[in-house]
């Protein structure tokens, strides 16, 4: 069963399997929607539309389920902070020099 885990909830860190990313699916840990911008590997705060993909449709609320065709589950850290893997690795690297 552990092999089925492909990511974590952006809000609480609950492990998510492919079937947990449906349009109306909610996280079993916190009840938040899972198919949201904040749970996508393209999510990038600071970029236009907070997305790495330049041709995406504007999504106003990044915490609500949407119909984005480019959605791809992110492999998030299980810290519950909703940090992307890249952000998590950067933070760990910076912590080495403190």
Residue of higher predicted confidence among 75 and 11: 11
Retrieve residue 35's tokens: 């198919």
Q: What is the pLDDT of residue 96?
A: 81
Would you kindly state where each structural domain of the chain is located, as residue ranges? 1-98
Q: What is the pLDDT of residue 87?
A: 65
Distance from chain centroid for Cα 20: 12
The percent of residues above 90 in pLDDT, for the chain, comes to 38
Q: 40-49 — which CB contacts under 8 Å span 24+ positions?
A: 40/68, 40/70, 40/71, 40/72, 40/73, 40/74, 41/72, 41/73, 41/74, 41/75, 41/84, 42/70, 42/71, 42/72, 43/74, 43/84
pLDDT in tens, 40-86: 999 988 888 899 998 888 999 999 999 999 999 987 444 444 455 56
């Amino acid at each position: 069963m552990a092999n089925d885990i492909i990511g974590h909830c952006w809000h609480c860190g609950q492990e998510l399997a492919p079937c947990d990313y449906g349009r109306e699916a909610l996280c079993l840990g916190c009840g938040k929607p899972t198919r949201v911008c904040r749970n996508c590997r393209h999510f990038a705060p600071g970029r236009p539309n907070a997305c790495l993909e330049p041709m995406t449709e504007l999504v106003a609320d990044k915490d609500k389920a949407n119909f984005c065709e480019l959605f791809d589950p992110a492999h998030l850290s299980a810290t519950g902070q909703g940090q992307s893997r890249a952000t998590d690795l950067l933070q760990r690297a910076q912590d080495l020099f403190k």
